[in-house]
Structure 1
Amino acid sequence: MQKHYNITVKGKVQGVWYRKNTQEKAIALQITGNVRNLPNGNVYIEAEGDKNQLNLLLEWCAIGPEFAKVDAVSFEEGDLQLFKSFDILR
């Protein structure tokens, strides 16, 4: 069953290729949605997939790419948007 997660990642997550690496991980997990930087320095992700796929993405988000330093990851379920791909929003 498809779920929609709104994920916020806090820490040193901008300027470290976090969005691009999130996109690559999401595509590998067959997750759709998008990722974007927020003005406060956080990264915001909307992700859709089954619960197992989304949990794997959450685990990855807690580590992130090589130069990231993740302090916290939070998420809440939202309404399905039926995304067709996983995009980086600017």
Structure 2
Amino acid sequence: MSETICRNLRISGRVQGVGYRWSLCAEAQRLGLCGWVRNRRDGSVEALVSGPVEAIDALVLWAHRGPSMARVDSVRCNEGNAGEMGTHAGFRQIATY
């Protein structure tokens, strides 16, 4: 059984208005991850993800590509705070921060 971890992702580039959040949410759900994704006012996208190491690694790889209309310049991946997950199960989009 794989260890469960929590990671915070910050994705920069042309990642708003191109379906990035929707696509990341769908990919995270496909991988069985929990957490959320949101736009940030600085033009980046932020995600907090929790799940097996292998699934998070797969999502981080996907995040470097994103959907076809996106242009990803950078993906920062740091240790996340599982306390920010809330009580909602699954993966969802939340309001801009």
Is the TM-score greater than 0.5?
yes
Partner of 2:30: 28
Partner of 2:47: 45
Q: How far does residue 67 in structure 1 lie from its aligned partner after superposition?
A: 0.2
Match of 1:85 among 80, 83, 90: 90
Partner of 2:74: 72
Identical pairs, percent: 31
CA RMSD of aligned residues (A): 1.1
How many residues of Structure 1 are paired with residues of Structure 2 in the alignment?
90
Quote the Cα distance in structure 1 between the aligned partners of 2:33 and 2:74. 21
- How does the TM-score come out when normalised to structure 1? 0.95
| Structure 1: runs of 5 or more not aligned | none
Q: How far does residue 80 in structure 1 lie from its aligned partner after superposition?
A: 2.4
| Structure 2: runs of 5 or more not aligned | none
- How does the TM-score come out when normalised to structure 2? 0.88
Structure 1: 4+ residue segments shifted above 6 A: none
Q: How far does residue 84 in structure 1 lie from its aligned partner after superposition?
A: 1.1
